Chain A
Amino acid sequence: MNAPTGLTLAEARAALAAKRISARELAEAHLAAIEKLNNLNAFITVTPERALADATAADARIARGEARPLEGIPLAIKDLFCTTGIRSTAASRILGTFIPPYESTVSARLWAAGAVCLGKTNLDEFAMGSSNTTSAFGNVVNPWRRRGDNRDLVPGGSSGGSAAAVAARLCLGATATDTGGSIRQPAAFTGTVGIKPTYGRCSRWGIVAFASSLDQAGPIARTVRDAAILLREMSGHDPKDSTSADVPVPDFEAAVGQGVKGLRIGVPKEYRLDGMAPEIEALWQQGIAWLKDAGATIHDISLPHTRYALPTYYIVAPAEASSNLARYDGVRYGLRVEEGGDLDDLYEATRGAGFGAEVRRRILIGTYVLSAGYYDAYYLKAQKVRALIQRDFDEAWRSVDAILTPATPSSAFAIGEKQDDPVTMYLNDVFTVPANLAGLPGISVPSGLDASGLPLGLQVLGRAFDEETVFRVAAAIEAAAGFDALPQLRAA
């Protein structure tokens, strides 16, 4: 048997059921790994006592034959999810030492399914970023390195801590959130699987909001099956979230391995960018070939407004964020900076000191595009383009069942690269953002390595609430790719 940290979630589940390993052993192995790879900075808060207590309780249930679907499985939670009694920071100074008196619906579901809490993973501040370099708790290091190059690389963002933790075998899976690619891009950068489900599939209740109409939780895991297992437990209608969908949650795991025979796969020509790296193009062609070999049919499709998705996103997301982040004002919780003066001085000092540069920039952009005289030109225009983007997809679904694209325009980059200007950084999300705008499910599957030995991902998009097809296609790619490369920095 592999070392406990080398198991996939599904393998660990089987080992636990067969009593080949105890939940406590699993938890201890992962806690040791977290400590050993502390320099990745994947965690903001580690909760060893909680983990051991959870594991002990899990072992007792297993012994009684009362195991739940994730009984004893050690997971990490992105520190954007509020967790009762555990500091929840959103990687921002402004939340200070905020300790939520409530548990997010998604994490509560995982605990109710028997999962073990290892701690809270690092992220870009308020999930705003594509490199996990905007965290107030320091950047996260990608467990992968370029061949022959010892520079630290970014793990992607915003769910960089979750992706790095899964890739380095610090946990069997992690929660993440995706507003414009924050699950799929770091998954692609770290050789892991990340799925952003349909908007409304997972409750947003208790997750610190970035852009409410785009935010969606999902898992990052080692394999497509693991992601399917986790997503099933994370999903479900929540009456506390008005945008949570009251639809049945299928057994996603059952879809994995159903094959793609007869599925119609769309390849959108607009995703072929000028100057796109040849190896990204090559990987895409490879993916097409794999699916064709597996019995799917390939169809050229057009999503004409694709190139406008990013600028649309960079109006909608900052606009919503500027309003969502107004509550961090130093009055009821979190950081307060008081320098004398009146209430407005308190607000300005607190928010000036509490938010990092990228968050401030986005709040200012968002404030501007909503302000009198500019609303129609920016926000309203963006909403109309958003409608057109959704319409493009609606049109596509008439002829295809899933869409295949690259997940990112490049592999992971070094810390400090691409940071000369914000727009260059924003372009990381060019392939992932449309799914957020249209509310569609999208998965990133590790599919190969680039010339420097870094993982690359392919993205599969599906119809709203048809994650099953997405999983089917992703599993076919996974099987064909046989991706078994390992990151340089990892637990045994």
Chain B
Amino acid sequence: MTYTLEGRTGPWEIVCGLEVHAQVVSKAKLFSGAATAFGAAPNTQVSFVDAAFPGMLPVINRECVAQAIRTGLGLNAEINLWSRFDRKNYFYADLPAGYQISQYQHPIVGKGEIVIDLADGSTRTIGITRLHLEQDAGKSLHDQHPTKSFIDLNRAGVALMEIVSEPDIRSPEEAGAYIAKLRQILRYLGTCDGNMEEGSLRADVNVSVRRPGEMYRTRCEVKNVNSIRFVMQAIEAEARRQIEVWESGGEVQQETRLFDPNRGLTRPMRSKEHAHDYRYFPDPDLLPLELDPAWVAELKAGLPELPDAKAARFQRDYGLSAYDARVLVAEQATADYYESVAKGRDPKQAANWVMGDLFAALNRTGRGIADSPVPAASLGRLLDLIADDTISGRIAKQVFEEMVDTGADPAAIVEAKGLRQVKDTGAIDEAVARVLAANADKVAEYRSGKDKLFGFFVGQVMKAMAGKGNPALVNEALKRALS
């Protein structure tokens, strides 16, 4: 079913393409040796190249190129062995050189694709048009002074990958799923940290609407949207605005707009009103970027397993459901955690523990999987204690909570607290006898056919044994005693 918005005159489809700017993970900037770390004091991570001092020249960072190639490979895209840097010329306070070095005509990465996962469990393939490397601009702060804007160039020159999708996206949900999937892939590859709050991932959203079956109508670009939620809201808001324009007999003008999340509306950008004419031309300070195919092959060989492949393997090798597999591969760290717990153990049991008790504990303690209070090895040892009947599943839950609180080893907790399961049939028989003696009325009811009471007896015996009785042995003993 195609997603539509209902206008006054009938249904409208959304056509959307995304340009995602992903900050490349690297120590130094794209063309200079200045640092890229987030959060430094203003203008402390700026080289003379970044600030466009006279006579300064760019020299490209090999790792940034490698990151773009890895990303291209991760998006199943063509790697262009010959690409080129162009200058995009425009004046802006946070663009020191008066041009941005970008790749206009010949990007490093060509066509690729992303398979997005939708809430109903279905998937869709969204085309990637291209990926290119470019410089980030600095930051303008408009709220520091009544009549001035302040310029911080720390971000100026940091490497960005601009990843452009085909106009294949048809709903806000797909746009959200697209960014989520892209972000996940980038994080797996280690090429972008995907941190939208810090601006490491920003999206420009191209939106148009059309009647079902129509070709494309005029689109508008909503610039610099910095969260998945806002992207989804911006698309819907912009689509509704355009529908209103069309339906009231007007014509949508191609323009650049901004999304105001407080009002839930888009508005035209006030600056950059000068006719856009970027006067792209090849940057004469640089030569064409020619890639050695052997290097690309080497980078390819070094790629990690990506989420889709990993999820498929989890289903195949561990017998997990599609849903469980998708949850467990959401983050590389979760998947790694899960695998080290599952390896050599019952994979479904491991999945239940990770997705149940562990996730709950992380939630409660506000920690991430990487700094989990219970390391994967500890959880694994806990599962081993269940498997070798040292403790029961129920006791394990208790031990686990203790592990979360103290970080102690499960075996040590079991010993210290005397939680070892009782497998001594004599002790069990004795407990059974005590319980049955104390509940003679219930025994009579049971024997007269009230089978359900069996569970009650199990509970009572376990309680009498402080939960430590081996459940199977307790069952056996009860059955024997009650028969």
Contacts and interface: CB of A to CB of B under 8 A. Distances in A.
**Do A and B share a direct contact in the complex (Cβ within 8 angstroms)?**
yes
Interface of A: 81-82, 88, 90, 95, 98, 100-102, 104, 204-209, 211-213, 239-243, 319-320, 322-323, 326-327, 329, 331-333, 343-344, 347, 367, 370-372, 375, 379
A243 B285 contact: yes
Interface string B46-58: 0010011111111
Given A327-B52, A329-B91, A240 B59 contact: yes
A343 B270 CA distance: 13
Contacts of A209: 54-55, 285
A371 B279 contact: yes
B267 to A, nearest CB: 19
A370 B30 CA distance: 25
Given A211-B284, A343-B93, A344-B91, 16 more contacts: A82-B54, A206-B55, A206-B56, A207-B55, A209-B54, A240-B57, A242-B60, A243-B285, A243-B287, A322-B279, A323-B281, A327-B97, A344-B274, A370-B279, A371-B277, A375-B280
Contacts of B54: 82, 88, 90, 95, 98, 100, 208-209, 327, 333
Nearest to B153: A332
B279 to A, nearest CB: 4
Nearest to A80: B55
B99 interface: yes
A382 to B, nearest CB: 11
Nearest to B279: A370
At the interface, is chain B mostly helix, strand, loop or mixed? loop
Interface in B14-63: 48, 51-60
Interface residues of B, number: 30
Contacts of A207: 55
A66 B59 CA distance: 35
Most chain B CB inside 10 Å of its own CB: which residue of A326, A347, A370: A326
B151 interface: yes
Interface string B264-284: 000000000010010111001
A323 B87 contact: yes
Contact of B57 (A204, A327, A343): A204
A213 B57 CA distance: 12
B98 interface: yes
A323 B55 contact: no
B273 to A, nearest CB: 9
A320 B284 contact: yes
Given A323-B98, A327-B97, A242 B53 contact: no
Contacts of A204: 55, 57
A204 B286 CA distance: 12
Please give me the 10 A-B residue pairs with the lowest Cβ-Cβ distance, nearest first.
A326-B98, A370-B279, A212-B284, A213-B284, A327-B52, A206-B55, A208-B54, A327-B97, A212-B285, A372-B277
28 contacts: A82-B53, A82-B55, A90-B54, A101-B48, A102-B48, A205-B55, A208-B55, A209-B54, A212-B285, A242-B57, A242-B60, A242-B287, A243-B286, A243-B287, A320-B281, A322-B279, A326-B91, A327-B53, A327-B54, A329-B91, A329-B98, A332-B52, A344-B274, A370-B89, A370-B279, A370-B280, A371-B277, A372-B277
A436 B395 CA distance: 83
Contacts of A243: 57, 284-287
B277 A239 contact: no
A332 B55 contact: no
B57 A323 contact: no
A104 B58 contact: no
B59 A242 contact: yes
Contact of B281 (A101, A240, A370): A370
A182 B281 CA distance: 25
A132 B95 CA distance: 32
B281 A375 contact: yes
B120 to A, nearest CB: 45
B91 A332 contact: no
B96 interface: yes
A102 B49 CA distance: 11
A212 to B, nearest CB: 4
Nearest to A244: B57
Contact of B99 (A95, A208, A326, A375): A326
A340 to B, nearest CB: 10
B285 A332 contact: no
Contact of B96 (A212, A213, A332, A343): A332
B57 A241 contact: yes
Contacts of A329: 91, 98
B281 A319 contact: yes
Contacts of B58: 242
Contacts of A205: 55-57
A206 B56 CA distance: 6
B93 A323 contact: no
A372 B88 CA distance: 12
A9 B28 CA distance: 43
Interface in B52-109: 52-60, 87, 89, 91, 93, 96-99
A140 to B, nearest CB: 21
B162 to A, nearest CB: 20
Nearest to B95: A326
A371 B281 CA distance: 10
A250 B44 CA distance: 41
B89 A323 contact: yes
A458 B143 CA distance: 62
Contacts of B280: 370, 375
Contacts of A82: 53-55
A375 to B, nearest CB: 7
A370 B278 CA distance: 9
A326 B284 contact: no
A326 B305 CA distance: 45
Given A90-B54, A323-B89, A323-B98, A239 B59 contact: yes
Contacts of B57: 204-205, 240-243
Given A212-B284, A370-B281, A372-B277, A331 B151 contact: yes
B87 to A, nearest CB: 5
B286 A242 contact: yes
Contacts of B277: 371-372
Contacts of A206: 55-56
A323 B91 contact: no
Contact of A333 (B53, B60, B274, B281): B53
B96 A323 contact: no
B134 to A, nearest CB: 15
A186 B57 CA distance: 27
Nearest to B97: A327
Contacts of B99: 323, 326
A82 B49 CA distance: 14
A53 B216 CA distance: 72
Contacts of A101: 48
B56 to A, nearest CB: 7
Interface centre among B56, B93, B151, B284 (most CB of A within 10 A): B284
Nearest to B46: A332
Determine which residue in B87, B97, B277, B279 has the highest number of CB atoms from chain A within 10 A of its CB, and name it: B279
A455 to B, nearest CB: 32
B288 to A, nearest CB: 11
Nearest to B281: A370
Residue of B97, B98, B287 contacting most chain A CB atoms (<10 Å): B98
Contact of A331 (B48, B59, B96): B96
A239 B53 CA distance: 18
Nearest to A104: B55
B13 to A, nearest CB: 31
